[in-house]
Each structure stands twice: as structure tokens, then as C-alpha cells.
Chains A and B, each alone.
Chain A
Amino acid sequence: MATLTLNAVSKSFDKTQVIRGVDLAVAHGEFVVFVGPSGCGKSTLLRIVAGLETPTSGEVRIDDTIVNQVGAADRGCAMVFQSYALYPHMSVYANMAFGLENIDIPKAEIAQKVNEAAKLLKLDALLQRKPTQLSGGQRQRVAIGRAIVRDPKIFLFDEPLSNLDAELRVSMRSELRELHARLGATMIYVTHDQVEAMTLADRIVVLKDGKIEQVGTPKALYESPCNAFVAGFIGSPRMNFLATAWVQKNAPVLLENCAAGSSLGIRPEHLQLAREDEGFAATIASVEYLGGSNLLHATLDDGTRIEALLDGATPLARGACIHLRFDPMKSHHFDATGVRV
């Protein structure tokens, strides 16, 4: 069993507050992803969990024990760093064995554990190589292997895929997912890439300016974001925000609360081409052909730019005027402060 609880955790560097009172509970075996724009404090939060930073206030509990005063080594967490942080002068085997040697485990047991992990990660042929002789994906696996051999309570990943090329990233993503299913361990994963977050997470924690905006399953975040920031951050391409006043005037939708400054969020994939007598008009600014679909950039008559994901077969020309409609049930209404109505 390994659970993690954060109670009102905050962190300041000198006068800058990076984390502002974060509360979070992570259950055993859960895959939780911290996601947010750069500078939102997600890495700092992970480092606080790891014990590499101490929180200014609040408490960190692992399995109901407050670990604020416990050093990084004794918390039972293992971390995979963005740069992998492999020891360049040691072989792959020595890299993976280092953590076990430090806690005086007998040599035979170390060999067994390392070999098991190497087999799991398909590294068995590379054990005698130095990190410099490995490709990016292999280094990544060594870094994960180094974490696995220690049998940690919690795995911590700090943007581990950001140094890999796009193709490798996709395959490593599914490998990570499988690994989590096989080990059944609690994992916390930091990324700025919302696609990674959506595909990997059991639950996503969206952070902004050191505060949690929303915690939920990928589906929950996508379907009912609690505010405009989460709505805009989760989902690709980004959600469109239209002023409700404009919508009332141009599109026949009934909205209850149309206070000034409130907006209506519509995902690009929920916009559809319409006949001329329904929906609203827009001028095509550019079209990106994606094969199965077209990503349309269009301008409304008040100058708002919107994006729409349309069927790839639809012929679209730049400068043409089209009509778009949307399903009001799939749109999201936000008030002037960005909170969902």
C-alpha cells in the first residue's frame, strides 16, 4: 500500500510563492498526472513529494506518515528525471545496481533484481554498455529500470518523455502504461503535454500558478471542466471561447445567464458545417489538412478567431464564407471570472 496525501502544501523561493496551498490525495496504485503550463509549479510539487525540496508550510504524508522531515532517500520514492541523470561513468548494470548497493543488499540479490528489471525493459543485452553508447529511448529505459529495481512505494516521473522524438514518445507512452498495469504501483507523472496527460492518467491534476485548478479523470476534465482555464488547457485543438452576447445575437441558442463578460466554450470537434439558414457565419482564414480531418481557422464578424475540426472530405477554400453550428448540450458556459456556470 502506498498512498500520498498533500495538506495545504505551499512553497516559496525567497519572495516568490511557487506553490499556493495544494491539497491532494492519491490512492494506492493510481496513475496521477500533474499537468499545467510551464512555470505553474508542477515540477516543484513533484520535488516536494520526492523530498528534494522542503515545503514552506503544509504537510506531505506517505501512508499516513508525515514525511516533511524525512530525507529523499528514506521516503521510498524513486524518481525518473527529465535528463535521465544516468551516471555516465558507470555501466548500465552499475547504474541500476547503485541504489541497491547503497542499502547493503547482498550481491546475488542485486544481480537478480537488476537482471529481472533489465528483462522487463528489454535491456538485458545492454547491461555492460555505458550510457553514452545508448540511444535516447534506451537511456530512458535505464532511468526507469533504476527506479524499478528499488521497489519504490511511489514512482515519480519528471517530464521523462520530453527529450524523445515524437514517434518514440508515443511508443514509450504505451510502454509506461503497460508498466503501470504490470507493477500496480502508485505513479505520479509531470508533463506539460496534455495529450500525454490524457492518455496516461487515471486522474489528472491541472495546475496553474501554483494552485490546483481541477482534479479528475481525463473524461471528467474533458466533458465538464470547472473553469475556462481547464477547458482551454485540456483538449487539442484548443477550445473556442465565444462571447455569450455575440452568440445570443448571431446564433439561435437560449442561454440563461448572459452577464457581460461571460463566454461560451465550444470544442473545435463539436462544430459542424451548417446550411446557410442555421448556425453562425464565419470566414475561413486558413485550412490545415490532417488527412482524416481538416483543421479550420476562421474569423467571426467581431474579429474572434475560432478553430473547427471538420470532416477531411469537406472541400474548403480560403476566404470562403461558411456557416457553423454546434450542439448546445456539448458547449460550456463560463461567467466573467472564467468559472463554469
Chain B
Amino acid sequence: MTSIIKFLTNTRGKNSLHWTDWLSYGYLMIGLFTMFAPVVWLVASSFKSESSISRFPPTFFPYTQKTVQVIGHEKPLPLFNVAQPGEPPKEMAQIRRIGIMATMVDPAKPTETLQININQRKPVDEIKAATENYTDIFKKFTFGKYLWNSVFITVIATLLTLLINSMAAFALSKYKFTGQKAVFLLIIATLMIPPTIILVPLFLVINSVGLLNNLWGVILPAIATPTGVFLLRQYMLTIPDEMLEAARMDHASEWRIYWKIVLPLAAPALAVLAIFSVMWRWNDFLLPLIVLSKSEFFTLQLALNSFQGELNTQWHYLLAMTVITLIPITLVFAFLQKYITSGIASAGVK
């Protein structure tokens, strides 16, 4: 912890701040603000009630109007600060409002009502996190179903991506066969074709194998990625051949060499690909959109989209959903990032 603080407060100037310190910290602050502020705003807004989101001017914290239970009224009434000329300001509850006149009542004397001009009163605010935004989306909508669909697609597709791409990369990096270069180039060349171009043929194929409205219809087309093969192949090239030969002399089958030697040594590259794959699958919109048309198969991204109605958008729910959608990606980054930098293959061979 102290080392983190020490690192974060590093300066070039020894006693006072050097001008480069001002420059770099200023630059970093701008970067932090432009990148982090929208996320913070999103999270803060997701805790606002429906009325608090639409209020003007917008506030950062989730303010809501205080309410009070008054005898003789079923529902809690909104509280206002009323300032009448010649009288000290006091808190009163509003029963109803017609035009610019509001019927108000003092919660202490529920029988006396007053007619007050709306300019003479101000709402009494309090900070209150609308956690019901989060609980409601699980209760009112089939949000749990969408979440499960997204998690299923992401986890299964990522595992299969890692398996299939690493097998291809192993073959392309460690075996010599005729056409090896051609196969590799062919795989890399597919990077030049934008996914949108193959969208229609892809749809036709998925349709003809009967995978429309099936989660596997989203998983299977996505598991073989040229980027993943390239990334893993380049990393596996750095694993010394002698190690595989040693394993071969140790009676290891080719599968065992792949499983026990190559895969563990390629862990840093696998972690990078896992991060990519989780991001791709979790954030994927276009492919699920064409494959999954029934709402019970919707992923989170599709659900978010369908939540934005043509006439009416329930922003408070949408924002809460967006925050939940962001969490897994954040966690993946937090836990896997250390693997990105560490390489262990070079260690055993001098």
C-alpha cells in the first residue's frame, strides 16, 4: 500500500514541484477526467429515481424529494419549504396542485389546508439512493434470464476459443508441414474481411443448420478467431523446440505435450486472448441481434437495446442495467491483467 502511494506521488522536483510535474500530473488528470467521469456519472445516475433523472438542472448526487405521511391521506405527500410573506418559512406537504395554486397542509395540523402560490414553495430534497432500480430489474423483467444468456455465451465461447485457437496455434508454430505458411496466411487474411460483409451468408448458414434462436448459434461462429490464432502462434514460437523434444523423449504423447507443456507455458498469451474474447462476446451486438430474435434468448446487449422504446425510455432501469453489464468486464480486467505482462517461458531455458 505504501509503495502504491509512493508511486502515485512520485515527483521530479525534490522539494517543490518541477514544471514537468505540473505538466504530467495535469495531463494525467485530464485523461482521468475525460475517461472516468462518464463512468462515474453513469454509476451515480443509476441510483437516481425516475423523477430525479429528468430534473433540470441535473445533479450529480441522487436527490429525491422528501415525503411525509399525513393523517387522512393514503399515500405519502411531497414536502415543500413554504415562505409566506411576514411568516417564518415552514415545511408543508402538498395535497394537490391546480395551475399555479397548490393545496398544502401542515403535517402537524392535518385538518387545516392552505392555498399557496407555487412560486412561494421549494421542494425539500434529500440524498437517497434508488436501489430499487437494481432490485426492480430482476423482479419486474426477465433480467436474470438475459444475464444468464450473456454469461453462458461469454464463458462457453471463451473456453472454446482458447481451446480451438491454441490447438491451431500449436500446430502452426511447432509442426513443419507442407502448406504451413499458406494455411497461416489464409487464416490471417480473413482479418481483411469485415464481419459485416459475411453477416448475411453467416445468417443463411446458421438458419440452414437450424441454430436460429439458439445460444449455440452465437457461440459457434465466433470461436475461431484469426486474431487469437495469430496472438497465440507468435507467443508459442518463443517456446523452445528443445523443450518439446525433451518431452517427446520423456514418452509424452503429442496431446500431452500440448496439454501439459505448451498450454501452461502459453498462459500469459491465453490470458490476453481470454480478456479479448470475454470483451468481444460480452459486448457483441450484431451477431446476437440477427441470430436471437425471441426475447427469451436475448443477451444483455439486446435487452438494453430493446429497453430503449420508441416513445418512452425508462432511463433509471436502463442505467442500472448498463452498470451491471459493465461489471464482468471490469472484473476480468482487474484479475487477469497481471498475466498480460508476465512471461514465464523464457525462464527455464538459459
Q: Which residues of A contact B (CB under 8 A)?
A: 50, 52, 71-74, 77-79, 81-89, 98-99, 102-103, 130-132, 136, 139, 146, 150, 163
B230-265 contact mask (Cβ, 8 Å, vs A): 1 or 0: 000000000010110111111111001000110011
Tell me the bound Cα distance from A103 to B267 in angstroms: 26
4 additional contacts, CB 8 Å, given A72-B249, A82-B242? A79-B249, A83-B240, A87-B247, A99-B250
- Say if the beta carbon of B347 comes within 8 Å of chain A: yes
Q: Is B345 an interface residue (CB 8 A)?
A: yes
Contact (Cβ within 8 A) B350 A85: no
A-B contacts counted at CB < 8 A amount to 83
Q: Give the chain A neighbours of B242 by CB distance below 8 A.
A: 81-83, 85
A89–B239 CA distance with the chains assembled, in angstroms: 12
Q: Which listed residue (A77, A87, A103, A139) contacts B243, Cβ 8 A?
A: A87
Determine the residue in chain B with the shortest Cβ distance to A88.
Answer: B348
Chain A hits for B243, CB < 8 A: 85-87
B17 at the interface (CB under 8 A from A): no
**Which A residues are in CB contact (< 8 Å) with B267?**
89
**Most chain B CB neighbours (cut-off 10 Å) among A50, A84, A87, A99:** A87
Complex partner residue of B348 from A74, A77, A132, A146, CB under 8 angstroms: A132
Instruction: Report how far A55 CA is from B251 CA in the complex, Å.
Output: 21
13 contacts between A and B (CB under 8 A): A52-B249, A73-B251, A74-B251, A79-B246, A81-B242, A81-B245, A86-B243, A87-B243, A88-B344, A89-B267, A99-B251, A103-B251, A131-B347
Q: Once bound together, how far apart are the Cα atoms of A52 and B242, in whole Å?
A: 10
Asked if residues B347 and A52 are in contact (CB atoms below 8 Å), the reply is no
Q: Which residues of B contact A139 (CB under 8 A)?
A: 350
In angstroms, Cα B253 to Cα A99, docked, is 11
Q: Contact between A77 and B247 (Cβ–Cβ < 8 Å)?
A: no
Interface size (B, Cβ < 8 Å)? Answer: 24
B347 with A98: CB separation less than 8 A:
no
A85 to B260, CA, bound (A): 14
A88 partner, pick from B247, B248, B252, B347, beta carbons under 8 A: B347
Given the complex of chains A and B, what is the CA–CA distance between A89 and B344 in angstroms?
Answer: 8
Chain A: minimal CB distance from B240 (Å): 6
Pairwise interchain contact A98-B247, C-beta atoms closer than 8 A: yes
CA distance A84 to B243 in the complex (A): 8
Contact of A89 among B247, B249, B265 (CB under 8 A): B265
Query: What are the residues of chain A within 8 A of B348 when measuring CB–CB?
Result: 84-89, 131-132
**Complex alpha-carbon distance, A35 and B246, angstroms:** 22
**With A and B bound together, what is the CA distance between A136 and B267 in angstroms?**
25
Known A89-B264, A89-B265, A89-B344: A84·B350 in contact at CB below 8 Å:
yes
Instruction: Point out the residues of chain B lying under 8 angstroms from A132, CB to CB.
Output: 347-348
Whether B249 pairs with A77 at a CB distance below 8 angstroms is yes
> Which residue of B245, B250, B344, B350 contacts A98 across the interface (Cβ within 8 Å)?
B250
Determine whether the beta carbon of A73 is less than 8 Å from that of B245.
no
Docked Cα-Cα span, A219 to B265, in Å, equals 47
Q: How far is the CA of A73 from the CA of B251 in the complex (A)?
A: 5
Cβ contact within 8 Å between A88 and B251? no
* Distance between A123 CB and nearest chain B CB, rounded to angstroms: 16
Which chain B residues numbered 302 to 350 have a C-beta less than 8 Å away from chain A? 344-345, 347-350
Tell me the nearest residue of chain A to B265, going by C-beta: A89
Question: Which chain A residue shows the least CB distance to B264?
Answer: A89
Separation in Å of the B260 CB from the closest CB of chain A? 8
Interfacial chain A residues near B240, Cβ < 8 Å: 83, 85
Looking at the assembled complex, report how far the CB atom of B175 sits from the nearest CB atom of chain A, in whole angstroms: 14
